[in-house]
Amino acid sequence: MQYLKCRIYNMNLMKNKSLVSITDYSKDDYLRILALAEEFENRPDPAVFKDKVVATLFFEPSTRTRLSFESAVLKMGGRIIGFSDSSSSSVTKGETLYDTIKIVSNYCDLIVMRHPLEGAARFASELTSVPVINAGDGANQHPTQTLLDLYSILKTQGTLDNLTIFMVGDLKYGRTVHSLLMAMSQFQTTFHFVSPDELKMPEEYKYYLNCLGLKYTEQKDFNSNIASADIIYMTRVQKERFSDPIEYERTKNAYVLKNKMLDGTKENMKVLHPLPRVNEIDQDVDLNPKAYYFTQALNGVYVRQAIIASILGLK
Ligand code: CP
């Protein structure tokens, strides 16, 4: 991608560095990862992770994140240990996260962890000298999702600068939109937040944008006014984050994107979604060339290969 050319990348800056929050990395770090992801996509190298063992510890369900991490490692000659369900681990016997991390770090070169508690990945990263990658901690952050989102945006738009992004749905509990906002704020983005009152973007993120002097709007209406979008980033209303089931029932069908709604949107516009979707994108959108969410999930393999290779100092 032309945008990534003519930049000098020093991958050593990321060696042994945990990735817990997207703010652990600088703008230059993001671009280094994207350049390496492009290299891996164009020229796969089956031996880069030879003799490396990656532990995937998933205390919360996942399809894309876990399997794309595992695919990323296996396709490059590495090995995987771990669990996809903590009920198959000694957590069920009362073992603490502290002890689990202490033990697993003896068995691997890198830990990828998803946990329902915000801050769990930071806690784990402070316990061990083995680098930790946060694969999602509660409603807090999902930094590897953000890096694959950046890669998807760059591949489809040819630039990361001066874009207009509509974030739609659960902006309160959605860790993917929180991380994406922090990253895209480095690229002079204009944000439009579309959500019901109950699921508005938390104040701290709007404060962050205010401090940077970036523009954003908030609206409840999603049927009009998307003509300026370069990216529409749909999100699921996450049942598992609600303590009040009535609030979930009230908001779960707040927005459903239908193919007809894409009439009049910009030629370059793409619909992204971290997935899984429930019913917030109608299946009639899938065949529209502006639907990009399945390729976005594929991009996760290259980007996660790039993240692991950088952290392990292999590239
Ligand atoms: N996007 C994402 O985090 O999907 P999974 O929950 O399936 O990993």
Q: Return the closest-CA partner of residue 216 out of 186, 200, 184, 193.
A: 193
Rounded to the nearest angstrom, the gap between the alpha carbon of residue 144 and the centroid of all alpha carbons in its chain is: 5
The number of the ligand 1 atom at minimal distance from the alpha carbon of 274 is 1
Query: What are the pLDDT digits (tens) for 214-263?
Result: 999 999 988 768 999 999 999 988 777 667 777 767 777 778 999 999 99
Residues paired with 53 in a beta bridge = 79
Portion of the chain with pLDDT greater than 70, in percent? 96
Q: What average pLDDT does this structure show over 305-315? A: 95
Q: Which of 48-62, 134-148, 228-242 has the lowest mean pLDDT?
A: 228-242
Helix (H, G, I), strand (E, B) or coil at 92: helix
Q: What is the DSSP letter of 141?
A: B
Active site residue 93: yes
| The one catalytic residue among 5, 43, 92, 93 | 93
Question: Which residue type sits at 291?
Answer: A
Ligand 1 neighbours, Cβ below 6 Å, are 62-65, 136, 145, 274-276
Rounded alpha-carbon distances, angstroms, from residue 284 to 10, 279, 291: 44, 11, 10
pLDDT of residue 11: 64
CA of 164 to the centre of ligand 1 (A): 24
**Which protein residue has the closest C-alpha to ligand 1 atom 6?**
62
Pocket test for ligand 1, best of 62, 71, 134 (most atoms within 8 A of CB): 62
Q: What average pLDDT does this structure show over 13-31? A: 90
Cα–Cα dist 185/208, whole Å? 9
Cα–Cα dist 83/191, whole Å? 37
pLDDT of residue 248: 66
Cβ atoms 279, 308 nearer than 8 A: no
Question: Which residue type sits at 8?
Answer: I
The number of the ligand 1 atom at minimal distance from the alpha carbon of 66 is 8
Q: Is the pLDDT of residue 80 over 80?
A: yes
Cα–Cα dist 278/255, whole Å? 11
The number of the ligand 1 atom at minimal distance from the alpha carbon of 67 is 8
pLDDT of residue 238: 72
pLDDT of residue 16: 84
Query: What are the pLDDT digits (tens) for 145-181?
Result: 999 999 999 999 999 999 999 999 999 988 899 999 9
- Omega of the bond leading into 276 within 30 degrees of 0 (cis): yes
Q: Is the pLDDT of residue 55 over 80?
A: yes
Pocket test for ligand 1, best of 63, 84, 149 (most atoms within 8 A of CB): 63
Question: How sure is the predictor about 9, in pLDDT bands with cuts at 50, 70 and 90?
Answer: low
CA of 311 to the centre of ligand 1 (A): 21
Question: Which residue type sits at 25?
Answer: Y
Cα–Cα dist 61/268, whole Å? 33
pTM summary value: 0.94
Q: Is the pLDDT of residue 6 over 70?
A: no
Cα–Cα dist 169/280, whole Å? 8
What is the secondary structure of 12-50 as a DSSP string? GGGTT--B-SGGGS-HHHHHHHHHHHHHHHHS--TTTTT
The Cβ of residue 145 has, within 10 Å, a number of other Cβ atoms equal to 28
Q: What average pLDDT does this structure show over 280-300? A: 97
- The encoded tokens of residue 16 equal 């042994």
**Which protein residue has the closest C-alpha to ligand 1 atom 5?**
62
Question: How much is the mean pLDDT over the chain?
Answer: 93
Comparing 11 with 231, the larger pLDDT belongs to 231
Question: How sure is the predictor about 139, in pLDDT bands with cuts at 50, 70 and 90?
Answer: confident
Question: How sure is the predictor about 210, in pLDDT bands with cuts at 50, 70 and 90?
Answer: very high
pLDDT of residue 8: 60
Question: Which residue type sits at 121?
Answer: A
Active site residue 241: no
CA of 140 to the centre of ligand 1 (A): 14
Question: Which residue type sits at 304?
Answer: R
Q: Is the pLDDT of residue 143 over 80?
A: yes
**Which protein residue has the closest C-alpha to ligand 1 atom 3?**
65
Backbone angles phi, psi at 231, to 5 degrees: -135, 130
| The one catalytic residue among 32, 52, 114, 178 | 114
pLDDT of residue 10: 65
Residues paired with 272 in a beta bridge = 233
Query: What are the pLDDT digits (tens) for 181-196?
Result: 999 999 999 999 999 8
Query: What are the pLDDT digits (tens) for 84-106?
Result: 999 989 999 999 999 999 999 99
| The one catalytic residue among 56, 65, 144, 164 | 65
The number of the ligand 1 atom at minimal distance from the alpha carbon of 68 is 8
